[in-house]
Structures are given as C-alpha cells and as structure tokens.
Amino acid sequence: MKPIRILFLLAALIFAVAARPQGTNFTAAASAPQPPTVASAVDREITAIEKQIVDIAEAMPEDKFNFSPEHLNIPGSDYKGVRSFAGQVKHVAASNYFIWSPLTADKLPEGLKDGNGPENLKSKADIIKFLKDSFALGHKAAATLTTENMLLAPEHSKSTRLRLATFGVAHAYDHYGQMVEYLRMNGIVPPASRVGSD
C-alpha cells in the first residue's frame, strides 16, 4: 500500500473517531439492539397508558371537565356519587403517586391525602399538570427495577416492586375505560378511536 494512501486512511480514521458522538462504540455488538430489561419493559407500558390518559384528559373541554353521569338522570341508572371527569383524572394521578412513590422514596406532593387528589386543584390545566407529573414519577419508578430487586418489597409495602410498578399501569387502564364513556356521553370521540389514530 502506498504511504500516501495509508496516511489518507489514517487521517480518515482519526477524523471519524474524533467526530463520533461521545460514548459511541464501533463494535458490531454495540450497534446491535439491546435486549429489553425489566425496567425498559415496564417503562414502555407506562408510556402507553400515559399517552392514552393524557390524550383523553386533554380532549375533554374545560367547561365539561366537572361532568358526571349523575347529572344526566338516566332512567334506571345508578350514578349517584360517582367521580366527575376531573375527579377521575385526579384519582389516576393521586393513585400513581401512592403506588409508585414507594419505589422511588419520593415524598407525596403537598395536599395529597387520599385517592381523590389535592382539593386545591380545580382548573383543567392544574389537574393535567398533576397527572403528567405523576407519570414522570412512574418512569422514575420503572427505572429502579432490576432482575435482582423486582421481587423484593420496598420499605413499608407488602407488594413486590414489580407488582407496584405494573399495578399502576393496570389501575390507570381501568379508569381510562371509564373516562372513555364520560367523553362519549358528551358527544366526544376519544382520541384513540378517531380516524387515523394508531
């Protein structure tokens, strides 16, 4: 090989190494997709329900955010005392905090005393922020899971870490179903059911 060609290849290699993003590894193993972990699998499920719940909460107009089917007075129905739409959203968020905070050791937000959420949250914007913050905690909780600790109970809990992490997802899906009906009772097609949605 000619010396000039060797110098050119050496210069190209130095340039490629210098220009690569920090932490990039050129080995074939590093470019292969990484297998999922317990943490990434649970985080994916949290992301899926987070999108559903946040989308549906944002779809309900501000003037209908306190809607309850009790107000419809449907003959033969029994909606007395059920949560309003806003109450459903606050309940999901409050429950997320109660379920996931043992995994992260985070303190509960100020004013959070029960599954109904803080009483001072009234506006749609404040309630949705509370909801989004609760899912941020969920992602933080998922990140704590390892194959070594997932079957251990965190302090002050009888449930395993994996059970708490996945129960938050299951609980949110239960309330998502109820929230879908609240939207439809108000003539609103839920975002996930609209034409063109995935």
Residue 95: inside a domain: yes
Residue 19: inside a domain: no
pLDDT (tens digit per residue) in 130-189: 999 999 999 999 999 999 999 999 988 899 999 999 999 999 999 999 999 999 999 999
Residue 125: inside a domain: yes
Residue 28: inside a domain: no
Give the span between the Cα atoms of 151 and 96, in whole angstroms. 20
Residue 20: inside a domain: no
Q: By residue range, what is the domain housing residue 99?
A: 37-193
Residue 27: inside a domain: no
Q: Is 64 exposed, middle or buried (0-12, 13-18, 19+ CB in 10 A)?
A: middle
What are the residues whose beta carbons fall under 8 Å from the beta carbon of 54, sequence distance 6 or more? 128, 131, 132, 135
Task: Read off the pTM.
Answer: 0.80
Give the span between the Cα atoms of 130 and 170, in whole angstroms. 19
Q: Once rounded to an integer, what is the mean pLDDT over residues 4-21?
A: 42
Q: How many structural domains compose the chain?
A: 1
Residue 68: inside a domain: yes
pLDDT (tens digit per residue) in 53-82: 999 999 999 999 999 999 888 888 899 889
Residue 198 has pLDDT above 60, yes or no: no
Residue 10: inside a domain: no
Q: Identify the CATH number of the domain in which residue 139 sits.
A: 1.20.120.450
Determine the residue type at 91: H
pLDDT (tens digit per residue) in 31-48: 678 889 999 999 999 999
pLDDT (tens digit per residue) in 139-156: 999 999 999 999 999 988
Q: What pLDDT is attached to residue 60?
A: 97
